[in-house]
Amino acid sequence: MTTRTPSGLAAAALTLLGLGLTVALATPSDALAGPPSESPRAMFSPWTAAAEQDGVEAVLTHAAGLGFMSSLELGLAVTTRLQGDDPVNSVLGLLGARLGPLAVGLGLGGVGDGPGTDSTTTRVDWGLALRLSDALSVGFGWQALYSDVDADLDAYDTWSLSTTLRPFRALSLAVAIDRFDTPKLAGDDLNAILRVGLGVRPGTERVTVAADFSHELGGDPWTLGGSVRVMLVPGLVIGGYGAWDDARSEVRAGAFLGLYQGGLALESSVDARLPDGGDDGDADGMSLTTMLKAKSAPYPSLVTDKHLLVKLPIGGAIPERTSDSLLGDGPAPFGKWIQALDVMAHDDDVDGVVLSISSAPSWGQSWELREALERLKAAGKKVYAVMTIGDMRAMYLASVADKVYLHAGGGLLLTGLAITRTYIATLLERLGVNVQIVKFEEYKSAPEALTRTGPSEPAEEQDKAILDGVMAAWMGAVTAGRHLTDEQVDATLKTGPQSMKVALERGLVDGVDANDAIAKAIAADAGEGAQIVDSYRPSPRAWSRWAGAPTVAIVPIVGSIVDGGSAGGLPIPILGDETTGDETFVRAIEAASRDASVLGIVVRVDSGGGSATASDKMYRAVQLAA
């Protein structure tokens, strides 16, 4: 399956990248948004509790959060702080990237020195995070200040350590030590600060309740606050927080609003500071922070594409496991196809699928695809099939569709089923080759190709049984799907290959036309607003799940079973043939058994057999995992 990139993301990302790296930040030293921080020049994005942070904004206060970000994120923020008669405005640029378990982030800006001044202090934030598992990330942060008017600020830089642990779906714990290197400011050593954050999601990924606490080690100052954020609908988030700052004897409070669409986000928080005694209306304590973000993965979105008809190109056998292509990642494995169809069945944005069949896969895969498509139809989705030349397997698969179309100039090759076997005993005899085979029981017919000139009676019996079984399944599927009788289908098979005219007259297809006309006919039948798309990515409906989602491991056995490691998968004849080695298979089974997030293991077999000793070891590994 391919994925659909959110529209406009590339252009927005390039714009943000250019702005983010060229603009300056001018947040006042006591700005309010974000978790507790005691930087001489604080820099914040719209407020987010430490335990929730999983985006590029984490570089500012909790670098471990970078480990949970998408592969690429950018941010551009503006902060307005009212101080006396002169507002202080600021701009913040952020850039973050993650490759596998390693993530880096960069924040760059100029922090305003206050009202009535034209000077700014440049601040640089850099963060590195290592994601050790789906539940654990550790981070290192570095911050430096540069000033033309204040030598003390110009000499300031410091390091922080942080970690985020999400052991359960409902729990996130964030711990950090800021200024652990006790930096100097104005000749004084600054104490390290311990920060602890706790986030709880009460049974849903749309509500987060969090608490943040900070304490200056070796001193008395501390801060304690609580917050809640709620996703009212996908793409719309509101929240609020309150905190007590013991050092300043003041209450801090704020509200959050977030709007999300595709890979873009607009987040804003209004923050207020009320000194002890309740001086409400103090303009000095008000600030507004707004951030525009872009990332490579989609957010839960306010608006999603509706009435989708997902086109599924089917061109022969679908690999059971991801192959190592010389030019990069190979096609999605067959298990992903089945999973995607089951996801589509429950996706309100999807109205159906369009099967574009140039060549059907094996009988086994065709049967599984057909079963998955039946589940899709049972969920109220439409299924359409388009063929150019359709053989028995293609017709079997296409017959599940509500409507079947044939390209103009195409036809069907429905002539029944046959098994062809080759016998070379006479050739070997002429070459002087003496073949000795030991087999168990009479139905072990594979060696007959080397020892006989034709099939034995047991071999012929089992071939006929196989053909009868497949033919019965084919007949049942086609007669039910096309609303025909057995007699009508039998009569069609006896006439040999069918032209497009015959296929239409006998009810095997619903229409014969050119590509564009078929697409219009499908869209018209599906209803108003239907659109055929070439790829599919389900739109998320909530925040990403903490601790990772439970999974089912799919371990395929493909090709010959051999001793040692698996091999093949490259598009090279003979040398590229796939095999499954017992060592590779056993390691995969053992890894899945140890993984607490794996709820079950599915072993898919597409193999004619092979090494008996390797098979025995693989069997034992499955026994131990059960």
Rounded mean pLDDT of 113-126? 79
- Looking at the fold, whether 141 and 279 belong to one and the same domain comes out as yes
- Looking at the fold, whether 55 and 199 belong to one and the same domain comes out as yes
Which residue, of 499, 533, 567, is where some domain finishes? 533
- Looking at the fold, whether 74 and 175 belong to one and the same domain comes out as yes
Q: Where are the alpha helices (DSSP H) in 346-456?
A: 363-378, 392-398, 425-430, 448-451
| Backbone dihedral region for residue 86 (phi beyond 0: left; psi -120 to 50: alpha; all else: beta) | beta
**What are the two backbone dihedrals, phi and then psi, of residue 132, each rounded to the nearest 5 degrees?**
-80, -20
8 A C-beta contact, residue 74 and residue 291: no
* Residue 96 belongs to a domain: yes
Rounded mean pLDDT of 394-399? 97
Distance of CA 349 to the CA centre of its chain: 18
8 A C-beta contact, residue 551 and residue 329: no
pLDDT at 38: 59
Strand partners, 197: 174, 212
Distance of CA 533 to the CA centre of its chain: 19
- Looking at the fold, whether 287 and 345 belong to one and the same domain comes out as no
Strand partners, 389: 411
pLDDT in tens, 321-347: 876 544 445 678 898 999 999 999 999
In whole angstroms, give the CA distance from residue 222 to residue 238.
27
In whole angstroms, give the CA distance from residue 155 to residue 144.
8
Quick one: the chain helix, strand, coil %, rounded to 5?
25, 35, 40
**What are the two backbone dihedrals, phi and then psi, of residue 558, each rounded to the nearest 5 degrees?**
-125, 135
Q: Report whether pLDDT(602) > 90.
A: yes
- Looking at the fold, whether 415 and 354 belong to one and the same domain comes out as yes
- Looking at the fold, whether 289 and 312 belong to one and the same domain comes out as no
Rounded mean pLDDT of 186-190? 87
Distance of CA 323 to the CA centre of its chain: 19
pLDDT confidence band for 280 (50 / 70 / 90):
very low
Domain housing 589: 551-625
8 A C-beta contact, residue 103 and residue 128: yes
- Looking at the fold, whether 182 and 290 belong to one and the same domain comes out as yes
Distance of CA 385 to the CA centre of its chain: 27
Q: Report whether pLDDT(494) > 60.
A: yes
In whole angstroms, give the CA distance from residue 141 to residue 105.
9
Q: Say what the pTM is.
A: 0.79
Which residue, of 263, 295, 327, is where some domain finishes? 295
CA angle centred on 412, ends 409 and 416, rounded to 5°: 165
227-237 b/e (C-beta count within 10 Å ≥ 16 → b)? bbbebeebbeb
* Residue 485 belongs to a domain: yes
- Of 150, 140, 57, 85, nearest to 111 (Cα)? 150
* Residue 301 belongs to a domain: no
In whole angstroms, give the CA distance from residue 108 to residue 60.
10
pLDDT confidence band for 131 (50 / 70 / 90):
very high
* Residue 433 belongs to a domain: yes
pLDDT in tens, 577-599: 789 999 999 999 999 999 888 99
Q: Report whether pLDDT(205) > 80.
A: yes
User: What CATH number is given to the structural domain containing 138?
Assistant: 2.40.160.60
Q: Whole-number mean pLDDT of the chain?
A: 87
Q: Report whether pLDDT(271) > 80.
A: yes
pLDDT in tens, 73-101: 999 988 887 665 556 677 889 999 999 99
Q: Output the CA torsion sign for 498, 502, 504, 508.
A: negative
pLDDT confidence band for 563 (50 / 70 / 90):
very high
Which residue did the predictor score with more confidence, 219 or 616? Answer: 616
User: What CATH number is given to the structural domain containing 487?
Assistant: 3.90.226.10
8 A C-beta contact, residue 587 and residue 537: no
- Looking at the fold, whether 384 and 238 belong to one and the same domain comes out as no
How many domains are there within the chain?
3
* Residue 542 belongs to a domain: no
* Residue 545 belongs to a domain: no
* Residue 540 belongs to a domain: no
Strand (E) or helix (H) holding 601:
strand 598-606
Rounded mean pLDDT of 19-39? 41
pLDDT at 487: 96
In whole angstroms, give the CA distance from residue 383 to residue 486.
23
- Of 232, 249, 257, 207, nearest to 33 (Cα)? 257
pLDDT at 42: 67
Which residue, of 262, 295, 328, is where some domain finishes? 295
- Looking at the fold, whether 526 and 618 belong to one and the same domain comes out as no
- Looking at the fold, whether 312 and 376 belong to one and the same domain comes out as yes
* Residue 507 belongs to a domain: yes
- Looking at the fold, whether 362 and 488 belong to one and the same domain comes out as yes
3-state secondary structure of 45: coil
- Looking at the fold, whether 291 and 333 belong to one and the same domain comes out as no
pLDDT in tens, 402-452: 999 999 989 999 999 999 999 999 999 999 999 988 888 888 888 899 999
